[in-house]
Amino acid sequence: MTTSDFQMTGGYAPVHDELTAYDLPVTGALPPELTGWYLRNGPNPRQASAHWFTGEGMVHGVRLEHGRAAWYRNRWVRTESFDRPEAVLYNADGSRNLRNGEANTHVVNHAGRTLALVESSLPYEITRELETVGPYDFGGELADSMTAHPKICPETGELHFFGYGSMTAPHVSYYRADAAGNLVVKQPIDVPGLTMMHDFALTRAHAVFFDLPVVFDRASVGHGIPYSWSETYGARLGVLRRDAPAAGVRWLTIDPCYVFHTLNAHDTADGRIVLHVVRYDHMFAPGRPQPDGTLWRWTVDPAAGTVTEDRLDDRRAEFPRIDDRLAGADVRFGHLTASRGPEERSSLLRHDLHTGAVEEHRFETGRIPGEAVFVPADETPGGAGWLLAYVYDATAGSSDLVVLDAQNVAAPPVATVRLPQRVPAGFHGNWLPDA
């Protein structure tokens, strides 16, 4: 079965109503420390979609307050084309209309702004009540797309990101905004073609870019994802020093593969860089079966010019997350979602990256979780906390917000919030605590 076969049915089907509901029913007990907003983005096409990845963005949010679920609401991100269907996503030359992305992939907060992201366009600013403010270009300084996976350095408060897909060189550029939201670094990244660069990695000292063999396919524009697998492009990792971005990128060859998402990366005392990623053998390769993504470790040795590649788990998993207060450091625990079909049992996995141990929360058959976001319980990075995820119940055709104890993921949920409507399968989100 291909993605297009099931994308508009079951948990992938869009919802048609924007709702607001108050005082949601809760099973169990919500920790009173959980006071803030859980927001998650995903595609919710208003018309038939050529691929699950496409369609107008819709953010689903739950407001938790001192032990109660105060409200749920869902809102489309109203980009340029939302009320103007004639507004183009792609220009005649294949380049993107940067003010008209679908804003359907992620939600992040930086320098007081909440941004809905898709990698093909500028961010769209929204309020925490999910109303659209409009496109955001860092005060006119950004004339490029912005990755849906920016990284916030917990030590400096800087926002690191890149844009890719320019039809003319440079095809990729690295950017950095300071803690106040001012764009302070723009550095071209030299890649030989129009590669699809979805994510990257950040350590305390480096940014690492993925130049992988999924490349722009002009014939696919307007017919789903305009990228396909290349048997000849090659694969490599690019290492950029954060303290000297103008010095450029050093490239190291790896085996051909594709990576949508990075769990984390860190520097070691002996000068190496360790990355944990969800790796696929190939992606968007016509005539080849869809591979499973599994957790891998890449160890980059800049002195030797080598990359060691090790698979850590053979279980299919995606949507890796950590305690974001440890981004770029040697984090011990990572969380991944192992979603299965409605006839199988899905799970959330907690990987101990130091020992190799894995704990698993297994959901009942037909209950399918999305990405699980870590929310800290105290001021200790890597310590106690909760995992929050939307869970689709295929039998009931409904969705819940499920709260798990991150230090005891195998236990029953701490709390389950019943939502007033189904949340379609989607992508990424964040917890936004009260200031």
What span, in angstroms and rounded, lies between the C-alpha atoms of 338 and 348? 6
Per the CB < 8 A criterion, the answer to whether 267 and 329 are in contact is: no
Cα–Cα separations (whole angstroms), residue 66 to 36, 127, 260, 380: 9, 21, 36, 21
Q: What is the helix (H) or strand (E) element at residue 5, kind and residue range?
A: helix 3-6
User: Is 106 annotated as belonging to a binding site?
Assistant: no
SS3 content of the chain, % helix, strand, coil (to 5): 5, 45, 55
What span, in angstroms and rounded, lies between the C-alpha atoms of 381 and 110? 19
Per the CB < 8 A criterion, the answer to whether 328 and 203 are in contact is: yes
Phi, psi of 11 (to 5 degrees): -70, -10
User: Is 282 annotated as belonging to a binding site?
Assistant: no
Q: Is the peptide bond before 170 cis (omega within 30 degrees of 0)?
A: yes
User: Terminus-to-terminus CA distance in the chain, angstroms?
Assistant: 45
Tokens of 16: 């048609």
Per the CB < 8 A criterion, the answer to whether 339 and 366 are in contact is: no
Amino acid at 214: V
Q: Is 378 helix (H, G, I), strand (E, B) or coil?
A: coil
What span, in angstroms and rounded, lies between the C-alpha atoms of 26 and 72? 12
Amino acid at 137: D
Helix, strand counts (H, E) of the chain: 1, 33
How far from the centroid of its chain's Cα atoms is residue 417's Cα? 23
Per the CB < 8 A criterion, the answer to whether 426 and 42 are in contact is: yes
Per the CB < 8 A criterion, the answer to whether 319 and 372 are in contact is: yes
Residues annotated in the binding site for Fe cation, as ranges?
149, 198, 261, 428
Annotated binding site: 149, 198, 261, 428
